[in-house]
Amino acid sequence: MVLWSVASSATSAFTGQNMCSSNHAKRSLLIATFTLAVAPASTFAFALPGPTACLLVDVADLHTLPDGSLTDSGSEADQQAYVQLARDARARIEDTFGAVESKPILVFFNHPDGFGPFRLNAYGSTQFIGSRACVMVGPKGQSVDVVAHELMHAEIHHRVGYLKRFLQLPTWFDEGVAMQVDYRTRYSLSPQDSQTADYVRDLTTFSSFFKGDEQAVVRNYASAKQVVASWLSKVGTTSLYARLQRLKNGESFDEIVTE
């Protein structure tokens, strides 16, 4: 009896160790699997915080405003100001180009680094995930100029489509059109610099347009604004949407900008 008892106890202990080892192995496997699944997402979020914020903004702890905009501010005064700001920015676009059709997710955040875990431009940016567009406006960009500029990017995206905008629309043109509703004086060229603004037509990609120091990028913005303004003075601002539709329908960029 004693021998069986000892043997039985020894067997139970051995079985328990096996079960613990088995459970530990399962937990380790689950942790490893979770890590492999989350690591790429974390890397993506770190490398591309803007698109990630756009993708996950629906689950962020934000307040929804009467017009559908979102904010991290609980201040009623802030919220009322944001609604008015969005209204004024859309009105500026409509006065320039015509009715606004796009309905991007519009987020106002007050922390200079972004909201939640997302590190964003303290001024403003427009992010795209396929057909989804998000306009993120930071504490340094809460003006009609910045909001209208970013909403114009969303309108272009809506009118042209994600792939056409990404593959066929030159960055200088995209930024130049957005600058038509952005009146900040630092982005206006002197008469002398206006004579050489055409160089910006070669800056067709994001990387080429934003290459260089702040002064160089400001000049690129100002030159794009000047070149597009000159073109619009000939074709008419109200023709823009129809021309973007032609691009969406299959015409080339060169064809739609023909005067």
State the pLDDT confidence band at 259, using cuts at 50, 70 and 90. Answer: confident
Task: Enter the tokens of residue 21.
Answer: 């080892």
Please tell me which residue, 245 or 50, carries the higher pLDDT value.
Answer: 245
Evaluate whether 89 touches 148 at the Cβ level (below 8 Å). yes
Residue 238: is it exposed, middle or buried by C-beta count within 10 angstroms (0-12/13-18/19+)?
A: exposed
Average pLDDT over residues 72-94: 98
State the pLDDT confidence band at 37, using cuts at 50, 70 and 90. Answer: very low
State the pLDDT confidence band at 116, using cuts at 50, 70 and 90. Answer: confident
Average pLDDT over residues 36-63: 71
Q: Please determine, for residue 10, whether its predicted confidence score (pLDDT) is greater than 90.
A: no
Nearest to 243 by CA among 160, 120, 123: 160
- Winning range, highest mean pLDDT, from 12-16, 24-28, 159-163: 159-163
Residue 111: is it exposed, middle or buried by C-beta count within 10 angstroms (0-12/13-18/19+)?
A: middle
Q: Please determine, for residue 182, whether its predicted confidence score (pLDDT) is greater than 50.
A: yes
Please tell me which residue, 17 or 45, carries the higher pLDDT value.
Answer: 45
Q: Please determine, for residue 1, whether its predicted confidence score (pLDDT) is greater than 60.
A: no
pLDDT value of residue 13: 39
> Where do the domains of the chain lie?
20-159, 169-259
Render pLDDT for 203-235 as a digit per residue (tens, 0 to 9): 999 999 999 999 999 999 999 999 999 999 999
Q: Please determine, for residue 44, whether its predicted confidence score (pLDDT) is greater than 60.
A: no
